[in-house]
């Protein structure tokens, strides 16, 4: 199956700093990638839809200036958590689909962010 890789797998940062998370589709091109956030013992909540070459579409309640998304190529999308605070600590997961008849979305392994 298609492989989606996230980096880093985990990160600890100080409050007030920014953190960048990468999501790569390793063996296919993805015009669209999705970013989710998952708090402990909760479901995945969609944060934004990342479109290659255009601005991301954010879900209601998600601050676009805080969660910067860049989809610079067909295989890479990045999520930057700016001025991170402890409440931003969460599990961030990306997904991508090859499209063209593929209906399934493939997920990265996730990034555990801890803000101290």
Partner 1 sequence: GQQLNQSPQSMFIQEGEDVSMNCTSSSIFNTWLWYKQDPGEGPVLLIALYKAGELTSNGRLTAQFGITRKDSFLNISASIPSDVGIYFCAGQYNFGNEKLTFGTGTRLTIIP
**Residues at the interface with partner 1 (CB under 8 A):** 1, 4, 6, 30-32, 34, 36, 42-46, 49, 59-61, 91, 93, 95, 97, 99-110, 112
Q: How far is the CB of 98 from partner 1 (least distance, A)?
A: 9
Q: Distance between CA atoms of 22 and 71, rounded to whole angstroms?
A: 10
Q: Which is nearer to partner 1, 73 or 109 (CB)?
A: 109
CB contact set of 74 (below 8 Å; sequence gap of 6+): 25, 29, 30, 31, 52
Q: Toward partner 1, which CB reaches closer, 68 or 107?
A: 107
Rounded CA gap, 33 and 41, in Å?
24
């Amino acid at each position: 199956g298609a492989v989606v890789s996230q980096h880093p797998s985990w990160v600890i940062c100080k409050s007030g700093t920014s953190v960048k998370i990468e999501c790569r589709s390793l063996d296919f091109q993805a015009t669209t990638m999705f970013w989710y956030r998952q708090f402990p013992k909760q479901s995945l909540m969609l944060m934004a839809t990342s479109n290659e070459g255009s601005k991301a579409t954010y879900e209601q309640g998600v601050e676009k200036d805080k969660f910067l998304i860049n989809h610079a190529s067909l295989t890479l999308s990045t999520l930057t958590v700016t001025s991170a605070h402890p409440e931003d600590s969460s599990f961030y997961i990306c997904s991508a689909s090859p499209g063209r008849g593929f209906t399934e979305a493939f997920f990265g392994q996730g990034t555990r962010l801890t803000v101290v």
